[in-house]
Structure 1
Amino acid sequence: MGAGFAFTGRGGWVRAVLTAVGVGLGVALLLLTTALPSALDARHEREQARTDFTFSQTVPPKTDATLLVANVGTTFRHEDIRGRELEPEGPKAPLPPGVDKLPAPGEMIVSPKLKALLESPDGKLLRERLSDRIVGTIAEPGLVGSAELAFYRGGEDLASKLDNGRVVRIERFGEPIQGTSDPWDPVLILLVLVVFVVLLMPVGVFVAAAVRFGGEGRDRRLAALRLVGSDSGMTRRVAAGEALAGSVLGLVFGIGFFLIGRQIAGRMEVFEVSVFPSYLNPSPALAALVAVTVPAAAVLVTLFALRGVVIEPLGVVRTAKPRRRRLWWRLLLPIGGLAMLAPMIGQGSDGGDFNQYLVIGGVMLLLIGITALLPWIVETAVARLGSGPVAWQLAVRRLQLSSGTAARTVNGIAVAVAGAIALQMLFAGVEDDFTEVTPYDETRIQMQVSIPEGMPPAQAAADFRRTEGVRKVYAYSEGYVGEKRTDPDFSTQVTVGDCAALREVAKLPSCRDGDVFAVSGAEYDTDTSDMAKPGRTLYFDPSYEDGHEGTETPWTLPAVKRAEAAVDMTGSERGGLLVTPKALPAATTKSLGGQVYLRLDESVPDVYDLVRNTAAAINPLSDPMLWVSSQRSERYDSIRTGLFVGATCVLALIGASLLVSQLEQLRERRKLLSALVAFGTRRRTLGLSVLWQTTIPIVLGLTLASVVGLTLGVVLLKMTATGLSVDWASLLAMIGIGAGVVLLVTLLSLPPLLRLMRPEGLRTE
């Protein structure tokens, strides 16, 4: 009988479809969440399958089945591009995943997204850097995501560069990376747990609210059954059947939404993360859990809401004002949550792992406490609201009669905002612990480029000076000298550059080409004073017992001037010998590696990519480094990215579910709205009344969310032993986003409201 009620008549079908859409949206997001582990595993397996740089200490011998691989990855407008140069050493050389034929020198095989970028007008600068001879695309098995930018390029003479760290010889792709990963910081594990709870709780709240769509009409129908002789058990079974039918239909809708979203996800990139649809396969066990939990939760929520129907059916039929809600049991939930989190206060990173069950349970109880407290707060607040304009009075009276429905609508957004505030406080509080301040002085230098061995720094500097947007160029060749050919007792650094460049790294007296300076006062340099004696023979790149064979280029030290150490652009004091180019014999050039430091005019469009193009023309294996003042832990950043991706999905669910809920409430009140219009109420007044009906609960809900979010944030910061601080601007931004979503939903519901406000709505049968 209950299942029949769910689909009886036009009104029953509309109500069932609205319930199914609301439940289905939640189910789709839950299925997406259950698919995340498999998606992450798939991305990891794809990355492992194409692994080429294993950082192994042993290099396999050359055979007809080996392949030389050079890392030629680059960056374009802050997007990383994975790039490899490949040179087979025989006909049996391995093929990377997703590639059926190795490219010839100068040819490229690219990912579909990179191909589209190179062919677009936006890719003009990138085309200057990469080969335009595209001979194929990388198939799905060779990519970790649908929007990944990647390429393979044919290489030449890579064997001569094997020892520079960016070229390796491999026998197969997919070898395991050497070494073990570091253990996770307990605070990061805490962040992951809280992120999952905070993102999933609003979904559960929305599913619980969706199964109550049409709740007032359902309650009146069940109360009528109770009055004509149905006992309490029969009434509950009928209600359970109705809820079960709606939730099962919601599961079907949810699977459909998930399959649609799965295909859409394959075409999207959110915060530089993309997936293939094939990745999003929910774990069978977790999917079965969703399939069982959602109908069970629908039945439990419905039965919990039947108290008034079973005990006071006459009051429900008459739509009398319900009994006042009790406060005491509602306070037990947040108090219980705080009690579960309290034992871990002050633990920090050094106190061992946080108890996962207590963290999950405590955060859940605090957030569920919002859903329990909000109906009481809305009921208590609106009971004290009184006179005002007609629109205000209509809204207040409606809230006084059905505050529970209004609270259910706002519960999800309140839970989401409270969780977001707590997470924002936690992330802001621990960010410094996972952020390392670099010593680089960004005011002096913005980019650094390595020069290949054997290239005079003056030649590279000239190329960069011709590059648009480059203001200053400081080029250095660097190496080490010892006092003996083999196993020297002393060694010191040698820095070669023109006078302008040397003045950036030390305090010089006078300087002209041909001068040599010995730096004094550098913190970690102790050998320079012993070696800086005119006429002494020093040796570049001496040999050592560990097997390193140097070129052992001799150099007779000329007259030496004194220079004072100074903090250079890298934030350190450079010691050793500073040498101008004319003071060195030409033979030493092959023993020196070079660095170019660039000061840029950052107002020039794409100045970083102009520099990268020049660097690629000088040395295809170069990897220009953009200086930053600080850098964050990769794990911390990945958790933040996961939070942003998840929050985007939850926010979309919030908006869609709120819109469905609003339409359901308007449909329930269509006769009332039509009657008011028939009696002469202005449509503007009714529109404003609907806005007030939404605004009052959302203000109360966001206020409660702020209190609970701040409380939870403070407790989490205390648990991580981090100083308390509140970024009020971010807090207000969270509240503003929540309010903005509700305002948008209200505006979207105005067109249906205008259609419902017609006298024809009074017709009945």
Structure 2
Amino acid sequence: MNQWGRDLALGVRFAFAGGREGWTRALLTAVGVGLGVALLLLTTAIPNALAARDDRSNARTDITYGSATAPKADDTLLVADADTRFRGEDVRGRTLEPEGPRAPLPPGVSEFPAAGEMVVSPALKRLLESDGGRLLRERLPDRIVGTIGDSGLVGSADLTFYRGGEGLERYVDGSQVTRIDRFGDPNPYREKTDPVLILLILVVFVALLMPVAVFIAAAVRFGGERRDRRLAALRLVGSDGRMTRRIAAGEALAGALLGLVFGTVFFLIGRQIAGSVELFRFSVFPHDLNPSPALALLVAVAVPAAAVLVTLLALRGVVIEPLGVVRTAKPARRRLWWRLLLPLAGLAMLYPMIRQGNDDGDFNQYLVIGGVMLLLVGVTALLPWVVETVVARLGGGGIAWQLAVRRLQLSSGTAARLVNGVAVAVAGAIALQMLFAGVEDDYTKDTGYDVTKAQMQVTVGGGVEVDGAAERLRRTEGVRRVVAHSEGWLGDKRLDPAKSAAVTVGDCTALRELADLRSCRDGDVFAVRGAEYDTDTPQLAVPGKTLYLDPGYEGSAPGREVAWKVPAEIREVDSRKDLSGMERGGFLLTPKALPEAAAPAMVGRAYIGLDPSVSDAREQVRNTAAALGPLMYASDWSATEQSDRYASIRTGLFVGAVCVLVLIGASLLVSQLEQLRDRKKLLSALVAFGTRRRTLSLSVLWQTAIPITLGLLLASTVGLTLGAVLLRMTATPVRVDWGSLLSMTGAAAGVVLAVTLLSLPPLLRLMRPDGLRTE
């Protein structure tokens, strides 16, 4: 162990005391390793960031939909839901009215805003003050008197406001307006994640981290050929082969340790940048990105250890003699059999979970991680063999082609290492896209909304008259059609009715959207038959029977019940699906048939058909709704809706894929520059003998294009295989998402092309005859 320590320390000294050559190699290695370490540290920080977001979200919870309303006291607060949307972004809003001096303050707010005032998040303040936020400013005209602190926001790009209100007590119903005595949900609902979503999470992490590990392993081998030639001098002064290898490992260790420092710096810079960036509507605060100490320690130990092991393994096939380096004049052909063992072992680990799905228990996490890792590692094992086998059979062509092919034939391993990380990333991405596309239908459901007739819904509350609101909405820019009605309940008793039915009030046009009406005029009353889950209407629709609109229940405010007698001329009609996709039962009343005293108990609904040629039609509708009253709520309609858990995992995949794509580009550029630096004298010699620079540039392009094409073909094969196995594991029919396959391979090819183009300027600088000068 002492000898190992001395040799490694000597290698570290050579890395930093070897002049410009040693420093350059150490810096290139450090940059390559540092990029990977930064992404690893970011990954270890993600669980803490998600937990911090969840904690802050739970701490500001107020309207819990179903929890008992607190009794009025000097420590209670009235809270009204004022959420809205602006150009696809959710804006969380609350109207607050304290009922005493000890009313609880929301997290991040130092004092309550008065009526006509509001406190906003920094991101919302910037939006409201920008030219692009003009329409939103019309909707939120209150004077801004402060900003919300970080403790009251989920992320740095969170759009949130609290505004002052008054007169909210008469609207307390526990849903849109509620009374609370503290913020935070004491019993937050923890939804059990189903096995398929756990499988998605596991595969996402493995697929995103494997390319990082591959890049780190490739980075510690930068400048390997020059290093091996320098090591021959050590043999000349008396070191044996084992000592030489240990010294080489020490050089790699130096670059890895410096890479840890670089990686930490990159991570700290990236963490600050993350606080001002929003990806796929996901944002964090810099202080959220704190890596777990145990995982950070694991990275700090694993990266240098991997550098030493990779270097020792790489030097097994190299004979370093006192008079030079022998890599065997005719390298032994790579064997295929053991390279196939890795993906086959991965398939064997995944096979026991075929067709397990959601019905037969959880997936074994260790088998999933191990199987996916072996399949992706199999790409790195198979790619050198594929590149060597193919380039050995490539023949004549132009000068640039021949230069590229001959270079690849001499060092196919180096070319394979250059694209290994890209191939692994693409294979994992293809498998994930297949899995997401395959299970998407399980987490996407049809809303039933008829989006051909209506694209928005406005809930009319707070004592606003429905017909007047509908007329205002019809006059709004971008609105083509408005269908409005009011909803309430009828019971057979004033308090705690045994039988009840829905009641809908609207003009004949609106009622025809709910039932088949042969004739209709103002004053008519209809009883709907055939509606699903409606069993009480036939027993209540008895002419002369007295019913009660807005009946009272235990705990509700008494005295709001309005008696109503079923008219003798009531007619039965058949139900039909309305614009929201439901079959409405109960009673249908035209406006004249509703007692005037019952109007305040009704909740209005307005269904809006928009003009697609007006770009901001939705924002105009929301502005009109906000101008009508503080309890008006406008919502968008869509034909389908997706599970929040599934959507968040997919968002995490996209965010991670962007980070890995950036790493791929940066690492490939560093690798390419290192390769060019290693061939500086060769390029200069070719130029000195008259080779055209365009020819050399094309040869460098071919040297990148050939292995990347082979790598993408192999990655597509492995990715499709892994994707098919994962779909079989979830008991989902196997189908290839060709669009995702082409987009993933196209994105990878685009990154490689961009890196090649960025490396051309330094290539042209290297192609000078004075590059032959040496010391």
- TM-score, normalized by length of structure 2? 0.95
Instruction: Provide the residue aligned with 2:518 in structure 1.
Output: 509
| Aligned mates of 2:103, 2:199 — CA distance in 1 | 46
How far off is 1:335 after superposition? 1.0
| Aligned mates of 2:215, 2:148 — CA distance in 1 | 41
Deviations 1:155-211, CA, capped at 9 Å, x for gaps: 1112222215122222232342x3542211000000000000000000000000000
How far off is 1:229 after superposition? 4.5
| Aligned mates of 2:542, 2:80 — CA distance in 1 | 42
| Aligned mates of 1:315, 1:165 — CA distance in 2 | 81
Q: Does 1:138 align with 2:137?
A: no
How far off is 1:96 after superposition? 1.8
Secondary structure of 1:471's counterpart equals strand
Instruction: Provide the residue aligned with 1:358 in structure 2.
Output: 367
Point out the more displaced range, 623-632 or 699-708.
Answer: 623-632
> Out of 128, 136, 140, which is 1:118 matched to?
128
Q: How do 1:638-717 and structure 2 match up within 5 A?
A: 638-717=648-727
Instruction: Provide the residue aligned with 1:170 in structure 2.
Output: 180
| Aligned mates of 1:255, 1:361 — CA distance in 2 | 28
> Out of 12, 21, 34, which is 1:11 matched to?
21
- What stretches of structure 1 of length at least 5 have no aligned partner? none
Q: Does 1:29 align with 2:39?
A: yes
| Aligned mates of 2:564, 2:629 — CA distance in 1 | 28
| Aligned mates of 1:317, 1:543 — CA distance in 2 | 94
Is 1:224–1:317's contact at 8 Å kept on the other side of the alignment?
no
Q: Does 1:719 align with 2:729?
A: yes
> Out of 213, 222, 225, which is 2:222 matched to?
213
| Aligned mates of 2:470, 2:409 — CA distance in 1 | 76
Secondary structure of 2:95's counterpart equals strand
How far off is 1:547 after superposition? 6.6
Instruction: Provide the residue aligned with 2:750 in structure 1.
Output: 740
**Equivalent AA in structure 1 for residue 447 of structure 2:** T
Instruction: Provide the residue aligned with 1:255 in structure 2.
Output: 264
Deviations 1:391-422, CA, capped at 9 Å, x for gaps: 00000000001111100000000000000000
Is 1:108–1:131's contact at 8 Å kept on the other side of the alignment?
no
Q: CA 1:456 to 1:554, structure 2 compared with 1: closer, same or farther past 3 Å?
A: same
Secondary structure of 2:633's counterpart equals coil
The count of corresponding residues between Structure 1 and Structure 2 is: 764
> Out of 341, 352, 357, which is 1:332 matched to?
341
Q: Does 1:320 align with 2:313?
A: no
> Out of 406, 413, 424, which is 1:415 matched to?
424
| Aligned mates of 1:152, 1:551 — CA distance in 2 | 31
How far off is 1:546 after superposition? 7.8
Give the alignment's Cα RMSD to 1 decimal.
1.9
How far off is 1:123 after superposition? 0.7
Point out the more displaced range, 384-393 or 36-45.
Answer: 36-45
| Aligned mates of 2:495, 2:243 — CA distance in 1 | 96
Instruction: Provide the residue aligned with 1:298 in structure 2.
Output: 307
Secondary structure of 2:92's counterpart equals strand
How far off is 1:617 after superposition? 1.7
**Equivalent AA in structure 2 for residue 38 of structure 1:** N
Is 1:223–1:317's contact at 8 Å kept on the other side of the alignment?
no
**Equivalent AA in structure 2 for residue 401 of structure 1:** L
Q: CA 1:106 to 1:441, structure 2 compared with 1: closer, same or farther past 3 Å?
A: same
Instruction: Provide the residue aligned with 2:588 in structure 1.
Output: 578
Deviations 1:692-740, CA, capped at 9 Å, x for gaps: 0000000000011011101100111111111000011210111101111
Secondary structure of 1:272's counterpart equals coil
Is 1:194–1:423's contact at 8 Å kept on the other side of the alignment?
yes
> Out of 586, 589, 612, which is 2:622 matched to?
612
Deviations 1:337-381, CA, capped at 9 Å, x for gaps: 111111111111111111111111111111111111111111111
Q: CA 1:456 to 1:86, structure 2 compared with 1: closer, same or farther past 3 Å?
A: closer
How far off is 1:639 after superposition? 0.4
Instruction: Provide the residue aligned with 2:7 in structure 1.
Output: none
Instruction: Provide the residue aligned with 1:443 in structure 2.
Output: 452
- TM-score, normalized by length of structure 1? 0.97
Deviations 1:670-689, CA, capped at 9 Å, x for gaps: 10101111111111100000
Instruction: Provide the residue aligned with 1:393 in structure 2.
Output: 402
Q: Does 1:98 align with 2:108?
A: yes
Is 2:91–2:160's contact at 8 Å kept on the other side of the alignment?
yes
Is 2:11–2:249's contact at 8 Å kept on the other side of the alignment?
yes
Point out the more displaced range, 695-704 or 455-464.
Answer: 455-464
| Aligned mates of 1:9, 1:42 — CA distance in 2 | 47
Q: CA 1:453 to 1:95, structure 2 compared with 1: closer, same or farther past 3 Å?
A: closer
| Aligned mates of 2:554, 2:761 — CA distance in 1 | 84
Q: CA 1:756 to 1:165, structure 2 compared with 1: closer, same or farther past 3 Å?
A: same
Deviations 1:37-73, CA, capped at 9 Å, x for gaps: 2211221222233222344633333222222222212
Instruction: Provide the residue aligned with 1:429 in structure 2.
Output: 438
**Equivalent AA in structure 2 for residue 463 of structure 1:** R
> Out of 176, 192, 211, which is 1:202 matched to?
211
Instruction: Provide the residue aligned with 1:40 in structure 2.
Output: 50
**Equivalent AA in structure 2 for residue 172 of structure 1:** R
Point out the more displaced range, 316-325 or 571-580.
Answer: 316-325
Instruction: Provide the residue aligned with 2:160 in structure 1.
Output: 150
| Aligned mates of 1:369, 1:596 — CA distance in 2 | 58
> Out of 623, 628, 632, which is 2:638 matched to?
628
Point out the more displaced range, 364-373 or 592-601.
Answer: 592-601
| Aligned mates of 1:700, 1:312 — CA distance in 2 | 35
How far off is 1:228 after superposition? 6.1
Instruction: Provide the residue aligned with 1:500 in structure 2.
Output: 509
Point out the more displaced range, 557-566 or 392-401.
Answer: 557-566
| Aligned mates of 2:546, 2:534 — CA distance in 1 | 20
| Aligned mates of 1:683, 1:291 — CA distance in 2 | 43
Instruction: Provide the residue aligned with 2:4 in structure 1.
Output: none
| Aligned mates of 2:110, 2:584 — CA distance in 1 | 50
Is 2:231–2:244's contact at 8 Å kept on the other side of the alignment?
yes
| Aligned mates of 2:703, 2:767 — CA distance in 1 | 17
How far off is 1:561 after superposition? 3.3
**Equivalent AA in structure 2 for residue 361 of structure 1:** G
Is 1:455–1:589's contact at 8 Å kept on the other side of the alignment?
no
Deviations 1:535-566, CA, capped at 9 Å, x for gaps: 44332123456877463312233322343322
How far off is 1:122 after superposition? 0.6
Secondary structure of 1:495's counterpart equals strand
**Equivalent AA in structure 2 for residue 206 of structure 1:** F
How far off is 1:502 after superposition? 1.2
Is 1:438–1:631's contact at 8 Å kept on the other side of the alignment?
yes
Deviations 1:462-485, CA, capped at 9 Å, x for gaps: 111111111111111112223444
| Aligned mates of 1:639, 1:251 — CA distance in 2 | 29
Instruction: Provide the residue aligned with 1:72 in structure 2.
Output: 82
| Aligned mates of 1:523, 1:259 — CA distance in 2 | 59
| Aligned mates of 2:613, 2:174 — CA distance in 1 | 34
Is 1:453–1:592's contact at 8 Å kept on the other side of the alignment?
no
Secondary structure of 1:397's counterpart equals helix
Is 1:223–1:310's contact at 8 Å kept on the other side of the alignment?
no
Secondary structure of 1:522's counterpart equals coil
| Aligned mates of 2:697, 2:49 — CA distance in 1 | 45
Secondary structure of 1:293's counterpart equals helix
| Aligned mates of 2:67, 2:154 — CA distance in 1 | 27
| Aligned mates of 1:317, 1:432 — CA distance in 2 | 58
Instruction: Provide the residue aligned with 2:759 in structure 1.
Output: 749
Q: CA 1:206 to 1:514, structure 2 compared with 1: closer, same or farther past 3 Å?
A: same
Q: Does 1:51 align with 2:61?
A: yes
| Aligned mates of 2:406, 2:162 — CA distance in 1 | 68
| Aligned mates of 2:590, 2:746 — CA distance in 1 | 60
Is 1:32–1:282's contact at 8 Å kept on the other side of the alignment?
yes
**Equivalent AA in structure 1 for residue 12 of structure 2:** A
Is 1:453–1:591's contact at 8 Å kept on the other side of the alignment?
no
Is 1:223–1:309's contact at 8 Å kept on the other side of the alignment?
no
Matched residues, percent identical?
Answer: 71
**Equivalent AA in structure 2 for residue 309 of structure 1:** V
How far off is 1:319 after superposition? 7.6
Instruction: Provide the residue aligned with 2:532 in structure 1.
Output: 523
Q: CA 1:91 to 1:549, structure 2 compared with 1: closer, same or farther past 3 Å?
A: closer
